[in-house]
A and B are shown apart, each in its own frame.
Chain A
Amino acid sequence: MMNLYSWIMGIVGAICLTVLIDVMMQDGETKKYVKGITALIVLAVIIAPLPKLLNEGFEFDQTIQEYANTANEYSLNNDFIYAVNQEKADELSINSQYYLKQNGFENVKISCYVDYCSDFKLRLVNVDLSQLVINKNVENININDEIIQLVLKATGANKDQIVILN
């Protein structure tokens, strides 16, 4: 791009020189020859970069590399994204606790933790049953399994991500 700038300025300079000579010189035979020479100089300035352009072509690789390097400068604020994802996880924990309450399991403390990445991915779901109060008939029911199933439904996590704390 900078070569284009200097090329255009070179043409402008050559033409200005031509005009200056044309204006300064008196009419006569000498002026005709001088005008012819300056015209050739202008032509030479115009076509000077063309042989290089025809032989080597445009250099795109350097330009693309510059773009790629600059792309890395547009970096994400990963701390902010992690904070937002963790807020979503905290909201999910509260809602899951309400869901369990609706299904007869009160005072269950659920804590959801996310991965430090740009996506919302649950890393761990802690289910604290130390203060569990059961408000329904649980005969012939495995309480842990029942709670795990409900937490799976509420959080969308995988079974291996859920940790039951008694």
Chain B
Amino acid sequence: MQYTPATVQLLSKEGKLVASDAAAEYLPYIEQLSDQQLRDFHRNMVVIRMIDVDAANLQRQGQLAMWIPSLGQEAAQVGSGFAARPQDHLFPAYREHAVARIRGVDPIKLIALLRGISHGGWDPKENGNFHLYTLVIGSQTLHATGYAMGIQMDGATATGNLETDEAVMVYFGDGATSQGDVSEALVFAASYQTPEVFFLQNNHWAISVPVTRQSRTPLYLRPSGFGIPGVQIDGNDVLASYAVTRANLDAARSGEGPRFIEALTYRMGAHTTSDDPTKYRANQDVEFWSAADPISRFEAYLRSRGEGDQFFADVAAEGADAASDIRRRIHDLENPAVSSMFANVYSEPHPVMDAQLAWLEAYEASFDGAEGGHA
């Protein structure tokens, strides 16, 4: 599945602004961006890619149990991530490393998760309202919808103030669209008219199964059956991702109900480092999407606006620094305390947790001083 006549694209694969009716609708959002904001788009795409590539290497070196590459999906994530306003709540699946970083999650927390140190563990309230990764496919779409219902109950949306009205955005993939939870989330969102954007990254692959196995129709048409408007964008075009998400989030926060965006992109790497894409997909697809790379086209666009070599060299250096910072800090990550297993299973005291922790501590202590006993 490649681009269709419905695909909203603002920046061509060659990095030139597109002249079309759809582009004309969304370009005003781009015209409001400062040069600095455009540079930030590029900087974030490059830096997260360098962290991402390095994290995959760390897995190969045995430092991570697994890594989940975001390679190729930087524009969909950076554009939509910057489109969200500070008061918005974002519910990711598990590949949204760029969005996490934009919202203030230290990438070392993603590394810690995949090193086996935590199940996530960050507090969304202190991390840009970026919620925890959810590994069961599609489950988070319901949490996001319920959260959006809560925003409505609080009267924290649709007051007419874009600077304070809240909205929710939930990320999911093409595989998730087959899950019942995603359909149920669309039902609830439509029924209660939640302030919410469903952001689908169609990266064409659910591990080894192509999107054509998930759906016979383009996925941006799916929500129309639920009474939710859908739009398809070129997910490798950071400007389209930003502008269309901005417009739809602002519509949602203005009381216009939920929206659905399908970002066409491509998972250039493996599903995870445990995967081997050469067993199931053809090189010509990869070549098509490689030519549609989000970073090279945006670099061409920025150069056409007069950005010079120095900026791109600085960004590359920043990415290298960020990657080496991860490589350094991964060795500072401490394994979790044994007691942490029991600490937060419940919010309130629980006799079984207390008893099992006490037993384990006594058991461990029984080895103290024993010959060959562990520390």
Q: Do A and B bind each other?
A: no
